[in-house]
Amino acid sequence: MSKIAAVVLAFLSLMLFATPSRAQLLPSGNVYVGAAYGDLVDVIATNRYTFRGWNASIEDFPLTRHPHIGVVLDGSGFYRVGIQQYNLLSDQGSP
């Protein structure tokens, strides 16, 4: 079997098996926590600022009769000497 045929066969197999999966409809929700890195370049003054921080996200499906409606809370924080920035986003709706 040639390499092209093997790649095509692998691609078609992944496409066929991916169709019945329900990765986005977990009944218990999702939780994510991770590190963040921000980089800002000021073109006018040629300054470069780097920020380190965190990201967190929580997703829940509170309505058992309507599993396609969920609530998401997403937050992040970035830090540098003398600078702190916090972001919070909440969303309620269907995926």
Predicted TM-score (pTM) of this structure: 0.56
What per-residue confidence (pLDDT) applies to 18? 62
Whole-number Cα distances in Å, 47 to 14, 32, 37, 65: 46, 32, 17, 53
11 or 87, greater pLDDT: 87
Paired residues of 83 in beta bridges: 80
Which pLDDT value is given to residue 26? 54
13 Cβ contact partners less than 8 Å away, ≥ 6 residues apart: none
What is the percent of the chain with per-residue pLDDT over 90, rounded to a whole number?
22
What's the average model confidence in pLDDT over 58-86? 84
CA distance 70 to 83: 34
